[in-house]
Amino acid sequence: MKQLHEILRLMGRYRSRMLSGAFFVLVTNSILIFGPRILGQAIDDLRDGDGLVRHPLGWYLGWLLAISVGQGLARFAMRRILIGASRRVERDLRASYLERLLELPRSFFAGRYTGDIMSRATQDIENVRMAAGPALMYSLDTLLLSGYALTMMLWIHPALTAIVLGLLPLISGLVWWLSHHIHLATMDAQRCFGRVSTFVQEALSGMRVVQAYVREEEQAHRFRGHLAEYRSLQMRLVALQSAFRPLLGLLFALGQGLVLWQGGRLIVEGRLSLGDYVAFSTYLTLLSWPMVATGWSLSLLQRGSAGMRRLNEILLAASDLTWGPERAGSHPRLVVEKLGFTYADADAPALQDISFTVEPGQALGIVGPTGCGKSTLLRLLSRQSDALEGRVLLDGKDLRQLEADALRGVMSLAPQEAFLFSATLAENVRYGRPDAPDADLERAAEDSRLAQDLPQLPQGWETVVGERGVTLSGGQKQRATIARALVPEAPILLLDDALSAIDTRTEEALIQRLRQVMGRRSVLISSHRLSVMREVDWIIVLDQGRLVEQGTHAQLVKQGGLYAELWRRQELRSSLEEAF
C-alpha cells in the first residue's frame, strides 16, 4: 500500500487531468448502464402488444445507437486523458530517477551493478506507468460498472441478485490469494531481469576481453543459464496471471447457471417478465468484464507496487554527502588536517593522519607504491567521498560547508580512468565548460599535447570518439581527459595518475607545457612516474595510507628513503628500455 500511495502522489501533480478523466469514466458507465434496461423494455413491449409496441422499433434502435456512440466517445476521452496522464508520470519519474542518480555519491555505486540500475530505469518504470494509467483507470471503471450493474439488478429482482452476491466471498478470496502470489513472483522476476541486464552490459563492455581469451561460447552458455532462470520465473508469473481469467470465468459461469435455473422458474410462474430476465442477464454479462479486469488490474498494481519499491531504493537512498551555503575564493589555500579514511569492506584504513598545505599557485606531487592511497586522497579532496577523520579546508572553510557548485567551480579533476562520452572530441573537451571559446579549446589542446593528434583524426575536433572513446588510443584518451580538466580554468587542478598511458617522449613535452599551467593555478599530481616530480614545488610520499616523507625532488633523493628507492628503480627501468 505504501508504494501505491507513492504512485498516487506522483499522479497528484496532474490532479485536474485525473479528475476530468474520472469524470469521463463516470459518464461512460452512466450511459452504458441504460442499454440493457431499454433492451428489456423493448422485449416486453413486443410481447405485451402481440407485435404492436408502445414505441416504434426505431425509437429503441435510436436509443441503443445513441448509447453505443455516447459511451464510445466518453470511453475514448477517458483513455486519452488517463493514459496520457500516466505517460506524464512516466516522464517525470524517468527525469527524477536520472537526477537522483546524478546526485548520489561514488560510494553508492560501489555496490551496484549498471545492468540492475538500467533495468529499474526501463522495466520498473514501465510497470509503474501501467499501474498509474491502465490499472487505476480500469479499477475505477470496474468499480463503477459493478456498482451500477448490481444496483440495476437489485431493482429488477433482489432474490436473483442475492445468488450473484453469494459468490462474492469466493471471488474475493481468490483475488486476494492470486494477487499476493503475483506480487512475490513479480519481485523475483524483476530482480532476475536486473541480473540478466547486468550480465549483458558487462559482456558488451568487456567484449574485447571476451574475444581476446576466446570465451564467447562460455559467455553464451552462462547467458543461456540466466535466461533459463528468468524464463522460469516469468512462466511462474504468467501462470498465476493466466489463472485469473479461467477461475473467475468458472465462477461467472456458475452464477449464470444459477440465474438461468432460478430465473426460468420465475418466468414460468409469471413472477418475472422475459424482458426483465433479459435485462438482468445482460447486466450479469456486463459484470464479467469487471471480474476479468479486476484480475488484470490487480496484477498491474502488484507489478507497479514492486516496481515502485525497487525504484525507491534509488530515489530514497540516503546520501552521505551534505552541502553547505559557503563559497570558496578565486585562489583558495588548501589545507589538509589529520585526514583518515577506511573503505566499508576493508580491514585496514586507506589513509591515516594525512596533513599538508598547498598554497595558491603551488604544485604538489603525490607519490607512493601501488595501493598506498594516492587516488583515495584525491577523491577526498574533490569530495567524491567524505573523510571519516580530519578535515579539508579551502580558505579556512571545511569542504562540507561549501556549495556543491562552488566546490566543483574551484576544482577540476582528470581521473585515473580516462572516460569519454560517445560524442565529438570537442564536446568531450568542453564538457566542464560548454560555452568555452575555440581559443580556450586550442590552448587546452596545446597544454595537454592533444593538438598533435588532431590532424590524424578524420574530422578533427568534430570526430565522434565512440562509446567510452573507443576510437582513440589510451594515450589520446588521457590527453583528452587532461584537456577537459584544463578548459574550465579552475584554480585547483587535480591529476590522478593521468599520464600512465602516455609514452615517454610525449610525457616530456606535456610536462614542459604543464609548467605554464603550474604557474597559473594550484596543481596536485598523483603519479607512479617520478619524472614529472622534478617539476613540482613539493612532494609528499605515501606508504600504506601514511605520509612517510615529504620535500623537494632533490631533497628526497638525497634522503635515501622510499622515494629514493622508487626513483632508483625507475631510472634502472628506463636504462634497460633504452638498451633494448
- Report strand pairing: 389-394 vs 363-367: unpaired
Weakest-pLDDT range from 362-376, 378-392, 478-492, 496-510: 496-510
The residues spanned by each domain of the chain are 2-315, 334-579
Q: Mean pLDDT across the stretch 322-331?
A: 73
Q: Find, among 15, 309, 315, 303, the residue nearest to 131 by Cα.
A: 303
pLDDT higher than 80, residue 291: no
| CATH assignment of 2-315, among 3.30.1490.20, 1.20.1560.10, 3.40.50.970, 3.30.450.20 | 1.20.1560.10
Residue in the block written with cell 488484470: 296
- pLDDT for 14 equals 84
Does residue 565 sit in helix, strand or coil? helix
Q: Which residues of 481-497 are buried (b: 16+ CB within 10 A; e: fewer)?
A: bbbbbbbbbbbbbbbbb
Q: Which three cell numbers stand for residue 425?
A: 572530441
- Residue closest to 230 by CA, chosen among 321, 123, 154, 343: 123
pLDDT at 372 over 70: yes
Sign of CA pseudo-dihedral 373, 379, 380, 382: positive
CA 245 to CA 253: how far, in whole Å? 12
Residue 343 cell numbers, joined = 573503505
Residue 71 has pLDDT above 80, yes or no: yes
**What average pLDDT does range 211-240 have in this prediction?**
84
Average pLDDT over the chain, rounded to an integer: 80
Distance CA 414, CA 540 (A): 19
Grid cell at residue 241: 496471471
The candidate with the shortest Cα–Cα distance to 480, out of 517, 522, 441, 530, is: 441
Q: How far apart are CA 6 and CA 118, in angstroms?
A: 21
CATH 3.40.50.300 corresponds to the domain 334-579: yes
Higher pLDDT among residues 184 and 485, named by residue: 485
Contact 279, 36 (CB under 8 A): yes
The single-letter DSSP state of residue 96 is H
pTM, two decimals, is 0.68
Residue 393 has pLDDT above 60, yes or no: yes
